[in-house]
Structure 1
Amino acid sequence: MPERLYGIRHHGPGSARAVVQELARQRPEVLLVEGPPEADGLVRWVADAGLEPPVALLGYASDDPRRAAFWPFAVFSPEWQAIRWAVDNDVPVRFFDLPFAYRLTGDTKQPTPAPGDPGPPSSEAPGGETVGPVEGGPGGETVGPVEGGPGGETDGPVEAGPGGEAGPRRPVDPIGELAAAAGYDDPERWWEDVVEHRGMPAFEAIAEAMTAIRDNSPEDPDDLVREAYMRTVLRETRKKYSEIAVVCGAWHVPALARKVAVKDDAALLKGRRKAKVDFTWVPWTYGRLASWSGYGAGVSSPGWYHHLFTSAGEVVPRWLVDAAGVLRSEGVPTSSAHVIEAARLAEALATLRGRPLAGLAEVTEAAEAVMCDGEPLRVELISRKLVVGERLGGVPDDMPAVPLAKDLAAQQRAARLKPEALERALDLDLRKETDLRRSRLLHRLRTIEVPWGEPAATRRGTGTFREEWRLRWQPEFAVRLVEGSMYGTTVAAAATAKVVRAADRAETLADVTALVETCLLADLAEAYPQVLAALDARAALDADITHLMAAIPALARTLRYGDVRRTDLAGLATVTASLLGRVCAGLPSAVGSLSDEAAKLLRDRVDGVHAAVGLLEDDGLRERWLSTLESLAGRADLHGLLAGRLTRLLLDAGRLDGAEVRRRLRLPLTVGTPPAHGAAWVEGFLAGGGLLLVHDEALLTLLDDWLADIPADAFDDVLPLLRRTFGAFDAGERRAIGERVAGPRGAARDGGSDGLGFDPQRADLVLPTLSALLGHDIGPGGRGAITTSAANGEVR
């Protein structure tokens, strides 16, 4: 045969070095590489310095970008190095796997894996990653629902056979079988010893071993179709060239070397339809390349493999120097002596284990023992930053891409925000022009479902001049940008169109309200009038008081902080005032005869509206709201949770004094009132924090007396409510309350002006229960420590 078949391990640095050596020796006239043939026109970009791995080929259906797949490449991937060699030496390159376009039509016939079947071998996966609802794909990692299991790669979603049974599958891991035959329980280590470290091509030996494995394994119908196409391309290539190099997964080598009649291959491929697809290069990350991320053809240590491939010598010392740098960056003192001793230990471990050189296992164990002091978190830090790596690839600015992606790249440059694989914090001051531009860009991207930034929970929704974000770029955002292109060619246009569409389709008032705030945050001025019109229409039709109340907080935040973002909010104040008026009018009829769950919901809605009214610069609206609360707070049919909460809000607003609050508190806490009602009242009243009990001794005494008088048979029903109430207090508040209750040590219950006193005999009653909880007997002699701890708001 005129061709040489190089069966490689996908993403194996040893395979990459060996392939380049063999290509330089063979000097082929053409190179065939396992991959989607629709991407042949993109090979020329490999010569561009701007195409920096890790990168991936992205293929997607032209009419439905959600149906897409990736083919990742790292600098140490054999396919990448083979293509680079061919481009540098003016050798034509052709991808010769089954076209992606065939997969999208659903013409492939594939069996469904049985439950627990991890699918095809992870070490010999064909290198594509499926994204979204792809009806078949040339191979790869699935982002989203994985059909085939986490242990291996699936060549796209798998269709069920008759009865749903599983069809024949190739061995779970043929490379693992080779490693086991050589006495290794870890295929990764076998490859390190045989290929990565010794640099042995071993292409003939691996092909022979794969032939033996395939002869004793059932064939996968999907593999048969792919390999029939590969052989077809190979036959066509032989007609034009005499020296052919073929780089593919080792699993396929026996099938390509086998003599199969042309008619048999043609029968497998006959009648298959093609969909229209588009391809481009996109950046990739080592985190997504790692096998733990779900990528079947991935490797567990891409950062380590990058180091193996790019280090000219002194692999172990250089690696440990980098590890020391990682530790130092986190404040861990690491000296050159640590590096020297760790290198010696790694070499000693390799010698004891009969290995030619120290591998990842040895350097990791050495670093853990010498440099990390056995701390798992430090080892994890090295693993995340070095073993897996945080490298993000890049593509040239003039790479063919959808206009939306090009506009985003321009926006990123203008805002001086560089996509990074590593998560990082971003603190924005919205009074600064650059930070305001960054905030708008991040919010617009979230609108089109590209969540490059996630607002930090500590700042989200506070409406201040500052925002905190967590930024991390994910490769699959490239697909989201393609999907978003149907809405517009710029980020602003796409976000505007999507918000307008969502407003038209919104079914509830809350849905539209969220869009109003989105218009503010993302500065979507063109969408605002249509969203406001939708809000007005939904508000007029919605009669549910809880829906109206849920809409007000976002509107109030928008009104209060619109000036910060320099947004025109004309008309929104009128809608907000109208909603609040309807809430004040409808609330009296909504608070009567409520269940516990309904009372909790309404309590949360009241809190939200109360906070929102405080943001509005309208004294008339605030007065109307407080007057409504005053009229409701004294009603006898009010649920205890609401009665207590309204009393607390009026106290904080200065509409009630301490004496009136204590009077109202006595009513639900009197004998004859169900304890559960009193506990609900207390829960609602104290939801604003516990400092009130610290500073109001009369209120604390009243509450303490009520607790002491609760009948024993009712206390178990009240305890969960009280625990939930006091458990929400800050630790400092609980400690201060404990100190106030304890008072001077040994004081009588009715004595002492500095506290409520402490009764030792009553405290002894809890000792049996504490003994059972803590697992050992606590006699009266141990009461002192417990008392001291209780006074500090703790139990030890």
Structure 2
Amino acid sequence: MTVHLFGIRHHGPGSARSLAQALSQLQPDLILIEGPPEANELLPLAAHGDMRPPVALLVYAPAMPQHAVYYPFADYSPEWLAIMHGQQHGVPTRFIDLPQAHVLAREMTYAEQAQAQVAQAGDMLAGLAQAAGFADTETWWDHLVEQRQDGLELFTAIEEMMTVAREELAQPLAPEEALREAHMRQMIRLGVKQGHQRIAVVCGAWHVPALRAMPTAKHDKDLLSELPKAKVAATWTPWTYGRLSAGSGYGAGVQAPGWYHHLWHTPHKAAAHWLTDAVRLLRKHGLDASSAQVIEALRLADTLASLRERSRAGLGELLDALQSVLFGDSDAPLRLIERELLVNDRLGGVPADTPTLPLSQNVKELQKRHRMVPLADQVELNLDLRQPKQLEKSTFLHRLALLGIGWGKTLTVRGKSGTFHESWQLAWEPEFELRLIEANVWGATLEIACNAHLCHQSQQTGQLPELTRLVDRMLLADARDAVPVLMARMQALAAGTQDAGVLLEALAPLANVLRYGNVRGTDTASVGAVLDGLVQRACIALPTAARGINEEAARLLLGHMIQADQAIALLQRAAHREAWLAALEQCVQLQAHALIAGRAVRILFEQEHWSVEQSARALSLACTNPVNPLASAEWLEGFLHGSGTLLLVNDALWHILDEWVAGLREETFTELLPLLRRTFATFEPAERRQLGQRVEHGGAALALAAPAPAQHTDEARAVLLLPILSRLLGDMQPKEELA
């Protein structure tokens, strides 16, 4: 009976290749792998024809899915090679790490100590790398192990090196590490007891000395006694190269999985293949890169390797060669290569019969029905919501977003306008699988889960604007069952809210729901009832809230006031308009803050509720405040904010403002100039130009168009037009009008 310990680096292609040779020589009758024992029953799926690495084992606590751990595998991961060897040769294969049932149940008492232990090990390896003439551990290990093709001899050397490193470290193990190694030793003892003669143990190189020099069985048994235990579940999930450095499970800090992919599939020509991919990438993005430059870069990389006394060119030499031959002083192409090529991100796949929860299964069925394949690469999707199939895709993406699964991000695209168009950018992330598991508590289907989650969120929301934004998301996700719950919650919050700003801020999202809800076919009747109450409360609260406030509060209220005005105009309801205009008149009469009063007059004038004479009178009163000229400037800012068209088309308003500015004392003008400049800076360039021309012409109104020459009117022909105009404009009496 012999126990062979293979110390590997997680996701190391050199370790994997040497392990494959060693297993072929050894022909073990039992393979033990550092990994979660809860996943032993899932190992046969690794040999399934539809399993495509990179993939990961996901172990989680069903009662609290946020407590989970991933164990990723690439096709060049040594653990994956060991699993596949066992499945292909019918060799019993088991995971032997400390069960996650204990790990997830334990309080994180020793988390900091465990991290400190890992840091100390890293420091020791960094010292070995420096002694060997390498600047960092990654490059040292890459040249020492990953680019070699040794068999059993390599693992003997790794064991000797790690034994010395642990002896030199001379630090007690963190409790979590001690438990893990104790459990692995117990599993090795179990394999020996079962009569296996050739046992292969595949584990991280750091653990090899602890598994070779075994203490007594009683020591390990006592260490593992009375551990807490939680119920856990496990499944396979797709993974990406970019996630191979995740901080849980087999996270090994792989910096360039795309380079390791070439080392695994084309070990003798990895440099040439990788450089070819780099050139293709540069050409794809419009950068010059010739075949001659590829050859020159490859020769330079080999020369650099020789100068650095290395057996072959590695990633560092290739990057240095590209920088010298192609990029010069520019770092931008190198950043592109690091993002696209070093990671070479790709999404794996798992068989359809992999164990999964109902919600995850429902999402996969919807992806298949909508023909939306989850990809790691960014994909753009343009939708026309007038088409039922595309509307269903939009609803699907919005429902996922409600559950925290941001598969798609909405984009603003020029040339696409209106509520019937949506543009998305899709990119599937592996952690979405875990979020689906977490969201399973809300329901077995995506629709049920969205409605339940919305109802829960509404009860947890204590601010009215947040709740109205939630209503907007509810509309986009077509979560109809949640409408009564959200509306009842909104009624309760609105009844207890006296803050005018909060009430005004809540109007815009609800107005959008009412105005555009019919695009998605959602019943918005209950939303309208709630909005009616909000408008009334906001109109009652505004005049009082606008008095006796400082400038900062007034500016905040001004923003809410402008948004509310746009919302009320959008709805075009007579009752809302009357209440709103009455509230604005009260703001003027009750001497609200100058910013608010100025804006109130502007809205009253634009809505044709006030005449030019009334507006001019209010402007004149505001500009005749010799005690506080700053208040006059603030009034003007509220009145003119955003547009100066009023001053271009109304001579009375222009002359009042012109006379006020001309009558200011020099020191007062100097004090108010920054505020006036800030106001006029909000105008469109064309408006500012025309105002300047009007000043240049001494205040005379500029003709917007050349006057039309006087023409004789043919009354007989004009009568023929009156019936048509009557139908277009309303009831008219053509004969009376003509007379």
Indicate the TM-score class for this superposition, using the shorter chain for normalisation.
Answer: 0.7 to 0.9
In the alignment, is residue 521 of structure 1 matched against residue 476 of structure 2? yes
Partner amino acid for 1:61? A
Confirm or deny: 8 A CA contact 1:107 1:272 kept in the other structure. no
Confirm or deny: 8 A CA contact 1:324 1:371 kept in the other structure. no
Provide the rounded CA distance (Å) in 1 between the counterparts of 2:361 and 2:168: 51
> After the TM superposition, which residues 81-100 of structure 1 pair with which residues of structure 2 at under 5 Å, given as runs?
81-100=81-100
Instruction: Provide the residue aligned with 2:708 in structure 1.
Output: none
- Render the CA deviation track for 1:490-520: whole Å, top value 9, x for unaligned: 1111111111233344434334433332321
In the alignment, is residue 212 of structure 1 matched against residue 168 of structure 2? no
CA drift of 1:444 comes to 1.0
| Compared CA separation, residues 550 and 742, structure 1 to 2 (3 A) | closer
Of residues 642, 646, 651 in structure 2, which corresponds to 1:688? 642
Provide the rounded CA distance (Å) in 2 between the counterparts of 1:373 and 1:735: 46
Instruction: Provide the residue aligned with 1:119 in structure 2.
Output: 116
| Compared CA separation, residues 575 and 34, structure 1 to 2 (3 A) | same
> After the TM superposition, which residues 424-573 of structure 1 pair with which residues of structure 2 at under 5 Å, given as runs?
424-456=379-411, 464-573=419-528
- Render the CA deviation track for 1:451-487: whole Å, top value 9, x for unaligned: 222334779xx97212233333222222211111111
> After the TM superposition, which residues 508-657 of structure 1 pair with which residues of structure 2 at under 5 Å, given as runs?
508-629=463-584, 631-632=585-586, 634-635=588-589, 637-655=591-609
- Render the CA deviation track for 1:531-551: whole Å, top value 9, x for unaligned: 233333443444433333222
CA drift of 1:647 comes to 3.1
CA drift of 1:711 comes to 6.3
Provide the rounded CA distance (Å) in 2 between the counterparts of 1:118 and 1:693: 68
Instruction: Provide the residue aligned with 1:131 in structure 2.
Output: none
Instruction: Provide the residue aligned with 1:765 in structure 2.
Output: none
Instruction: Provide the residue aligned with 1:234 in structure 2.
Output: 188
In the alignment, is residue 303 of structure 1 matched against residue 300 of structure 2? no
In the alignment, is residue 737 of structure 1 matched against residue 691 of structure 2? no
Tell me, what secondary structure is at the counterpart of 1:52? Answer: coil
In the alignment, is residue 275 of structure 1 matched against residue 226 of structure 2? no
Partner amino acid for 1:176? A
Number of equivalenced pairs: 697
In the alignment, is residue 187 of structure 1 matched against residue 140 of structure 2? no
> After the TM superposition, which residues 97-176 of structure 1 pair with which residues of structure 2 at under 5 Å, given as runs?
97-106=97-106, 110=110, 112-113=112-113, 119-121=116-118, 170-176=120-126
Provide the rounded CA distance (Å) in 2 between the counterparts of 1:434 and 1:101: 44
Partner amino acid for 2:81? Q
Report the TM-score, using the length of structure 2 for normalisation.
Answer: 0.86
Partner amino acid for 2:165? I
Provide the rounded CA distance (Å) in 2 between the counterparts of 1:701 and 1:348: 81
CA drift of 1:410 comes to 0.9
Structure 1 or 2: more helix by fraction: 2
Instruction: Provide the residue aligned with 1:390 in structure 2.
Output: 345
Confirm or deny: 8 A CA contact 2:238 2:430 kept in the other structure. yes
Confirm or deny: 8 A CA contact 2:499 2:545 kept in the other structure. no
Confirm or deny: 8 A CA contact 2:644 2:687 kept in the other structure. no
Provide the rounded CA distance (Å) in 2 between the counterparts of 1:703 and 1:336: 71
CA drift of 1:277 comes to 0.5
Instruction: Provide the residue aligned with 2:178 in structure 1.
Output: 224
Provide the rounded CA distance (Å) in 2 between the counterparts of 1:694 and 1:16: 78
| Compared CA separation, residues 35 and 592, structure 1 to 2 (3 A) | same
CA drift of 1:263 comes to 1.5
Provide the rounded CA distance (Å) in 2 between the counterparts of 1:700 and 1:390: 63
Instruction: Provide the residue aligned with 1:674 in structure 2.
Output: 628
- Render the CA deviation track for 1:39-91: whole Å, top value 9, x for unaligned: 11111111013222221111111221111111111222111122122212221
Report the TM-score, using the length of structure 1 for normalisation.
Answer: 0.80
Provide the rounded CA distance (Å) in 1 between the counterparts of 2:504 and 2:275: 59
| Compared CA separation, residues 231 and 728, structure 1 to 2 (3 A) | farther
Of 389-398 and 21-30, the range deviating more from structure 2: 389-398
CA drift of 1:445 comes to 1.3
Tell me, what secondary structure is at the counterpart of 1:171? Answer: helix
Instruction: Provide the residue aligned with 2:147 in structure 1.
Output: 197
Instruction: Provide the residue aligned with 1:9 in structure 2.
Output: 9
| Compared CA separation, residues 604 and 736, structure 1 to 2 (3 A) | closer
> After the TM superposition, which residues 288-437 of structure 1 pair with which residues of structure 2 at under 5 Å, given as runs?
288-290=243-245, 297-311=252-266, 313-372=268-327, 374-437=329-392
- Render the CA deviation track for 1:383-432: whole Å, top value 9, x for unaligned: 11111222112212221011111111111122222222233443322112
Tell me, what secondary structure is at the counterpart of 2:424? Answer: strand
CA drift of 1:301 comes to 1.1
CA drift of 1:698 comes to 8.5
Provide the rounded CA distance (Å) in 1 between the counterparts of 2:248 and 2:109: 27
| Compared CA separation, residues 351 and 651, structure 1 to 2 (3 A) | farther
CA drift of 1:442 comes to 1.5
- Render the CA deviation track for 1:194-247: whole Å, top value 9, x for unaligned: 222233452111211111111122022322221111111111111221101111
CA drift of 1:703 comes to 6.0
Provide the rounded CA distance (Å) in 2 between the counterparts of 1:292 and 1:277: 20
Confirm or deny: 8 A CA contact 1:76 1:309 kept in the other structure. yes
Partner amino acid for 1:645? R
Confirm or deny: 8 A CA contact 1:593 1:637 kept in the other structure. no
Partner amino acid for 1:515? L
CA drift of 1:724 comes to 5.2
- Render the CA deviation track for 1:554-611: whole Å, top value 9, x for unaligned: 2111111111111122332233223223323333333222222322232122122111
Tell me, what secondary structure is at the counterpart of 1:219? Answer: coil
Tell me, what secondary structure is at the counterpart of 1:557? Answer: helix
Tell me, what secondary structure is at the counterpart of 2:67? Answer: strand
Tell me, what secondary structure is at the counterpart of 2:5? Answer: strand
- Which structure 1 segments of 5+ residues have no match? 122-151, 153-169, 756-796
Confirm or deny: 8 A CA contact 1:174 1:210 kept in the other structure. no
CA drift of 1:726 comes to 5.3
Provide the rounded CA distance (Å) in 2 between the counterparts of 1:723 and 1:98: 69
| Compared CA separation, residues 568 and 377, structure 1 to 2 (3 A) | same
Larger Rg: 2
| Identity of matched residues, % | 42
Of 382-391 and 530-539, the range deviating more from structure 2: 530-539
RMSD: 3.4
Provide the rounded CA distance (Å) in 2 between the counterparts of 1:693 and 1:355: 78
